[in-house]
Structure 1
Amino acid sequence: MTPRRVPLLASLAVLLAAGCTATNHDGAAPAPTTAPGATTSAAATPAAPPTAPATTGAPPAAGDGRVTYGWAVPAVPARVAHRVLVPVTPAPGEPLPVLVQIQVGDHPAEGFSRISFAFRGPTPSYQVGYVSRVESDGGGEPVDLPGDAFLAVRFDPAQGHDSSGRSTAQAPLRAIGYPTLRGWAPAGDFEGYLSFGLGVRGGGARLPVRLSESTRPDGTHVVSVDVRRS
């Protein structure tokens, strides 16, 4: 993916819980289970900081994260809106929330796999939904992903590059290979929209997803996408 700068005239306006079976840990707590979201769009406010960092080897308390979309299969993309005033930092800083890390982890005991996006700056709005195929922003080329079902994830306003155009989230691991969550790929970073595709293996079914937010002690904001294990 070639980062592209946010136009100067833009007026609109990124990890998984400890205790995963993966070697990466995102500092985000496993979100509490709630009833399936009744709507696909909801206004949201930033999550409160956790009272303590996650402890390696055991999942942190469920209350450290805030569910923004309960376990459900979104018929249309589930959207969580945040009001972000831009620029979020004065020039020459980045004008939008910046993705700084992507991490994945499997939670077999809890029955889900997770991919997390950590952001410097305020939490952007985001939406997640199933699509027949993930396409790159702008050109519309299909994004190659493993699995038999696909989730499109989009953040706005947000960016995955700095003021020099360099990527801010170096994450070479894209093939995940968990029983359900199989892989991810970038799909766009243009004009304040930051997009990704997730490859899911559901045996021909669209599996329930859950969205949650948490804030690390360092102020980094984390948005997590959980996929139910089949």
Structure 2
Amino acid sequence: MKTFRVWLIAILMAVGSGLVAPGPASAAPYCGLVWGSLVKAEPALSQAKLTNVRTGQHYCFDRLVIDLNGPVGGYTVRYVPQVTQDGSGLPVPLRGQAFLQITANAPAYDDNGNATYNPANPNELTDVNGYQTFRQAAWAGSFEGYSTLGLGVRARLPFRVFSLAGPDTGSRLVIDVAHFW
């Protein structure tokens, strides 16, 4: 009888531990985002000119939009130790713990050298106070057909880059940076 109880207890413990043992770990990505933080680039050139920069907040990410007066050509978006100005190579001071250098393969001036985008404050392109991820958006210049912006974010977080057609014959280069991994 004593042996029976020992076996019964052993079996119940084995079964019980199987019932309360955790299943396999499955970490679902934040908001379903699987973007990553490596460089994203499209090498094409553009005839479009940069005309505006704006930002917005979404549930899972903060968004920066670059408006162009024609189709998006190419771009390069990557994390860098420090964003530098076009032409001079001087550093662009940014708030945040990580920095995205955003280069649109489109100038911010027309064929006669007239500005198509001239920010009122190059150090604060938009007001990002209260944003979950963005800390600062700054202008780094437009030189030899390329325009560069610096985006200070709170940490090196996943991001995506894509383009949208419109309005009219224009287009938008969109950079979304997730709030979390």
- Bigger share in helix: 2
Provide, for residues 7-45 of structure 1, a one-character-per-residue CA deviation record: whole Å limited to 9, x for no partner.
Answer: xxxxxxxxxxxxxxxxxxxxxxxxxx9874xxxxxxxxx
Looking at structure 2, the residues matched to 176 and 35 of structure 1 have their Cα atoms a distance apart, in angstroms, of: 22
Corresponding residue for residue 26 of structure 2 = none
Are 2:90 and 1:141 equivalent residues in the alignment? Answer: yes
Q: What one-letter code is carried by the residue in structure 2 that aligns with 1:161?
A: Y
TM-score, reference length from structure 1: 0.58
Provide, for residues 68-118 of structure 1, a one-character-per-residue CA deviation record: whole Å limited to 9, x for no partner.
Answer: xxx1111xx21123365xxxxxxxxxxx3101111100012xx10000011
After the TM superposition, which residues 160-171 of structure 1 pair with which residues of structure 2 at under 5 Å, given as runs?
A: 160-171=108-119
Q: What one-letter code is carried by the residue in structure 2 that aligns with 1:118?
A: D
Q: What one-letter code is carried by the residue in structure 1 that aligns with 2:170?
A: T
Q: Judging changes above 3 Å, is the alpha-carbon distance between structure 1 residues 218 and 209 closer, same or farther for their aligned structure 2 residues? A: same
Residues 175 and 182 in structure 1, CA contact (< 8 A), matched pair in contact too:
no
Looking at structure 1, the residues matched to 110 and 32 of structure 2 have their Cα atoms a distance apart, in angstroms, of: 36
Structure 2, unpaired ranges of 5+: 1-30
Looking at structure 2, the residues matched to 123 and 215 of structure 1 have their Cα atoms a distance apart, in angstroms, of: 8
Residues 102 and 115 in structure 1, CA contact (< 8 A), matched pair in contact too:
yes
Q: Which of the pair has more CA radius of gyration?
A: 2
| 2:150 aligns with one of 189, 194, 197 | 197
Q: What one-letter code is carried by the residue in structure 2 that aligns with 1:166?
A: N
Question: RMSD in angstroms over aligned alpha carbons?
Answer: 2.1
Q: CA deviation at 1:191?
A: 0.9
Corresponding residue for residue 118 of structure 1 = 67
* Number of residue equivalences: 145
Looking at structure 1, the residues matched to 49 and 151 of structure 2 have their Cα atoms a distance apart, in angstroms, of: 20
TM-score, reference length from structure 2: 0.72
Moved over 4 A (4+): 33-36
